[in-house]
Amino acid sequence: MSQVVVDISVSLDGYVTGPNAGVGNGLGDGGTAVHDWVFNGNDADRAVLDAAFNASGAVVQGRNLFDVIDGPGGWSDEMGYGALPTGEVNPPIFVVTHTPPEKTRLGDRFRFVGSPAAAVAQAQEVAGGKDVYVMGGGQICHAVLAEGLADVLRLHVAPIVLGDGTRLFPAEASAGFGLELVEAVSTPAAQHLTYRVVK
C-alpha cells in the first residue's frame, strides 16, 4: 500500500505562510521566502522536488489552499502541484471540506471529501501504488499527523523567521507522536528533513 506523506515547507519558527494569507495572497505577507527553494533552489533542491513528483499518486489538501489555487491568479494547467514543463499528467487532488464549491476553475482534477481520514482513504484507492502526498495547508497537514494517518513527515525548513502567519503545529495542546529521521538534504535554501512517523 502507498505511504501517506505529509510534505510541507515551513519557516524556522514553524509557519507555513506569512500573516494575511488568503486568495490573492496565498503564502501571506513575506511567505514566499518559505518556498524560495522551489523557485530559486539549486540542483539538490530540484532533485527533492522531482522525487516528490515522481512518487505522487494522489494529493490531499485543505479547502483554504484550494480556494487560493483555484482563484484568480492561482494555478493554471501548466502550473501547480505535480506540474512539470514536459507535460506529465497531474495526480488527482482530494480537498477536505464540508462545503464543496459549485464549480471549479481548474476542472475535474479536484474531488471534495468531508474528513482527512476519508480523503486519505480515497486517495490511496486511486494512487496506483504511489504515495499520497498531503501538501497543505497547515491545518490539514497537522490533522493528518494528529489523527495518526501519516507514515512520513517531510519538512522543507527555510532559513527565515516569519514571526506570524499560519502555524503547522497549533499553539494549543494537541496529539503528540514520535519521529525517526531517515534522510536529511541540506541546501542554502532549505533543510529537507524526512522523518518516519513512529506508530
pLDDT over 80 (residue 86): no
pTM: 0.92
Among 32-36, 99-103, 157-161, the range scoring the smallest mean pLDDT is 99-103
* Mean per-residue pLDDT of the chain: 90
C-alpha cell at 62: 485543505
C-alpha to C-alpha distances, 35 to 7, 13, 29, 125, 174, nearest whole angstrom: 12, 15, 13, 30, 26
pLDDT over 90 (residue 196): yes
Sequence ranges of the domains in the chain: 4-183
Q: Please give the full DSSP string across the chain, using - where no structure is assigned.
A: ---EEEEEEEETTSEEE-SS-BTTBTT-TTGGGGGHHHHH--HHHHHHHHHHHHHEEEEEEEHHHHHHHHSTTS-BTTBSTT--TT-PPPPPEEEE-SS--S--TTGGGEEEESSHHHHHHHHHHHSTTSEEEEEE-HHHHHHHHHTT--SEEEEEEES----SSEESS-SS-----EEEEEEEEE-SS-EEEEEEEE-
pLDDT over 90 (residue 57): yes
Average pLDDT of the residues in 164-189: 93
Check if CATH label 3.30.70.3270 holds for domain 4-183. Answer: no
* Beta-carbon count within 10 A of 129 CB: 8
